[in-house]
Amino acid sequence: MSAPEEPPDDTGRDRHGVQLALLGVFVLLGGLYLAGYFLLGGRVPTGISVAGVDIGGMTPAAAENELRRELLPSADDPLRLTYAGETYQIDPEEAGLSFDVASTVTQAGGGRSWDPRRMVQVVLGDDDVDPIITVDEEALSARIAELAEQVDVDPVEPAIIFSDNASFSEIAPAAGVAVDVTATEELVLDNYPRSDAPLELPTRTTQPQVDRAGVRAAITGFARPAVSAPVRLLRPGRDIILRVGTYGPALRMQVVDGELTPIFDVDLLGERLTKLTERLGAQPRNATVALRGGRPVVVPDRRGLSFDPAEIADAVLPVLDQSGAKRQAEVSGSTARADFTTADARRLRIREQVSSFVTYYPHEEYRNINQGRAAELINGTVLEPGELFSFNGTVGERTRANGFTVGFIISNGVFAQDLGGGVSQVATTTFNAAFFAGLKDVEHKPHSFYIDRYPVGREATVAWPDVDLRFRNTTPYGVLIEAWVVPSTPPTSGEMHVRMWSTKYWDIEAGESTRYNFSSPGIRYDSSDTCVPQSGLSGFDIDVYRYFRRVDSSELVRRETMHADYLPADTVICT
């Protein structure tokens, strides 16, 4: 009996079939993978949008075109930020902002990839993508800083202001506002390149260093005690009472290192202390030269008391919050020398009369008043060698407050009324006294037409503030000006006198040319209520000479020529 046959072995065949099947699967997947790479790998994932622009499923080129079309036009538009009803703009170019389209599309997933997850992402979609912004951080910060300069309001620090009537007032603290720079940068970057509506500018409240509670504490602890009583200044020989009204205006409390701190304005305190020494009669007095008994004498200087305002401030501040006997401070004080000493005055050598001049005027009470007041202001003026005299600077503006009244002046070639009428006679008399003293003529202006009570060609008109009489003392000695008026009465003329006192340096002679270039007056008819009738006068030119010789010498040193051009004075008929 033969052995039974064994069944054929299919193991190898089955293994081969599995391998073929697996190979087929791999080939299928590979084909799908290749197909996905070529069909899907170059597209932006489904559902992707950038700043509201849908680019999902688009090729990178198409996505870039779409973003350029939708977003680039607005990328150059300024971003608008609003605060307190005002609108401010940030220009993207100035702020260093630009929109990188290509990088944004790449970030969104555009472009081919062998990553199968990327292919799935293309089919299934993804979230929104922020635009890629290129930013010059320094430029953006600088632009926001410029905006902050327009918006920021510093907090009001409190202060306490003291016055001269023993009282004080308060400047209350108040909050400020400041742009939140970091939040503003984030807001700008979050909304660029598309921001259709204005954005609310991020700000924050800033607080003063000292609040109301701190102010109340300062008032209780310092301000009220500071004005409660004067301070006694203890000094050798004589104590001085420093009243609140003296130091108050120079005192204040202001915030220093987070606290309300009392501080003196040292310069202002110095001015107040100067007034104090004046009231006490302790101010130094300059020497001068004055007429006594009809002769010039030297009035000696007087020493005074001087305080160092910084020393006073340092001594007084610690006791202002004290009371009773504790409100006192030791100070030194010092002797103050006069600026112009007795020796300085003697060196001027003002010893004799070197010139004098007198003019006369018809009786009018306004002339007595105005000329008398101007003479009073000039009288006693001392000019040191090289010093300039100004009539307007010495007499001042002709106002009622300065002691002047209304009188007749010459205006536009005719008589008119104004304050200070008649003072030109004081100027003319002073000019002639300076002329014969040999002082240097700096500025003088003859009247527009000739007035026969004045020396022809040697007269000077003045008007505030533009027309002045000025001369300089060019001699080596001081000059004392004496001026006075002998008032007129209805039957007598008034007299205007000026004398110059010094040491005689020049012998002066005057001369004049004949009159020439005559011109005839016209006739004016005036129907105004202010009309002043006048008779016409001819106009002419004349030259005036001044001859300089040294004292006790006949030798001519020099000759000066002054020219006067008188206009004709029209006849004025009031109609």
pLDDT interval class at 77 (50, 70, 90): confident
Alpha helix stretches (DSSP H) within 399-444: 423-437
Residue 545 pLDDT:
97
Strands (E), 33-132: 49-50, 53-54, 79-83, 86-90, 97-99
DSSP string, 245-311: HHHGGGEEEEEETTEEEEEE-HHHHHHHHHHHHHHTT-S-B--EEEEETTEEEEE--B-EEE--HHH
d(CA 451, CA 459): 9
> Average pLDDT for residues 155-169, to the nearest whole number?
94
pLDDT interval class at 563 (50, 70, 90): very high
pLDDT digits (tens, 9 = 90+) for 334-343: 777 888 999 9
Backbone angle region of 348, left / alpha / beta, with phi > 0 → left and psi within -120 to 50 → alpha: alpha
Indicate if the pLDDT at residue 33 is higher than 50: no
> Average pLDDT for residues 381-399, to the nearest whole number?
96
415 versus 565: the higher-pLDDT residue is 565
> Average pLDDT for residues 97-118, to the nearest whole number?
66
Indicate if the pLDDT at residue 400 is higher than 80: yes
Mean pLDDT of the chain: 85
Residue type, 460: A
396 versus 45: the higher-pLDDT residue is 396
Q: What angle do CA 344, 349, 351 make, to 5 degrees?
A: 135
258 versus 61: the higher-pLDDT residue is 258
pLDDT interval class at 371 (50, 70, 90): very high
For residue 408, the Cα-to-chain-centroid distance in whole angstroms is: 41
Do 481 and 507 contact (CB within 8 A), yes or no? Answer: no
d(CA 290, CA 177): 66
Minimal CA–CA distance to 559: which of 575, 542, 546?
Answer: 546
Q: Which of 55-64, 317-326, 510-519 has the lowest mean pLDDT?
A: 55-64
d(CA 108, CA 214): 58
Indicate if the pLDDT at residue 213 is higher than 70: yes
Residue 367, H or E segment: helix 365-378
d(CA 391, CA 443): 10
Residue 32, H or E segment: helix 11-39
Cα four-point dihedral sign 349, 352, 353, 355:
negative
Provide the 3-class DSSP secondary structure of residue 412. Answer: coil
Minimal CA–CA distance to 190: which of 204, 179, 205, 202?
Answer: 202
Residue 113 pLDDT:
45
Residue 14 pLDDT:
58
- Phi, psi torsion values for 254, nearest 5 degrees: -140, 165
pLDDT interval class at 4 (50, 70, 90): low
Q: Which of 61-75, 311-325, 425-439, 483-497 has the lowest mean pLDDT?
A: 61-75
> Average pLDDT for residues 288-312, to the nearest whole number?
89
Residue 142 pLDDT:
92
Task: List, as own/partner pairs, every contact residues 224-227 make where C-beta atoms lie below 8 angstroms and the sequence separation is at least 24, other chains included.
Answer: 225/320, 225/321, 225/322, 225/323, 226/162, 226/168, 226/251, 226/262, 226/320, 226/321, 227/162, 227/166, 227/167, 227/168
> Average pLDDT for residues 110-117, to the nearest whole number?
48
Ranked by mean pLDDT, which of 44-48, 162-166, 262-266 comes out on top? Answer: 262-266
Domain boundary assignment for the chain: 29-151, 213-345, 348-574
Residue type, 354: V
Ranked by mean pLDDT, which of 395-399, 415-419, 520-524 comes out on top? Answer: 395-399
> What DSSP designation does 58 have?
-
Residue 409 pLDDT:
62
Do 522 and 571 contact (CB within 8 A), yes or no? Answer: yes
Residue 414 pLDDT:
52
Cα four-point dihedral sign 304, 310, 312, 315:
negative
Residue 34 pLDDT:
44
pLDDT interval class at 121 (50, 70, 90): very low
Q: Is the peptide bond before 193 cis (omega within 30 degrees of 0)?
A: yes
Residue 40 pLDDT:
43
362 versus 101: the higher-pLDDT residue is 362
Do 40 and 55 contact (CB within 8 A), yes or no? Answer: no
Both tokens of 351, joined, read: 């010893």
> Average pLDDT for residues 229-255, to the nearest whole number?
90
Residue type, 449: F
User: Helix/strand/coil (H, E, C) string of 298-319?
Assistant: EECCECEEECCHHHHHHHHHHH
> What DSSP designation does 77 have?
S
Instruction: Decide if domain 213-345 falls under CATH 3.10.20.
Output: yes
d(CA 79, CA 192): 8
d(CA 424, CA 413): 15
- Phi, psi torsion values for 528, nearest 5 degrees: -80, 160
Do 151 and 177 contact (CB within 8 A), yes or no? Answer: yes
Q: What angle do CA 438, 442, 444 make, to 5 degrees?
A: 100
Residue 439 pLDDT:
97
Indicate if the pLDDT at residue 120 is higher than 50: no
pLDDT interval class at 58 (50, 70, 90): confident
pLDDT interval class at 12 (50, 70, 90): low
319 versus 45: the higher-pLDDT residue is 319
User: Do the strands 251-256 and 352-361 form a parallel or antiparallel pair, or are they unpaired?
Assistant: unpaired
Residue 39 pLDDT:
43
pLDDT interval class at 476 (50, 70, 90): very high
d(CA 265, CA 241): 20
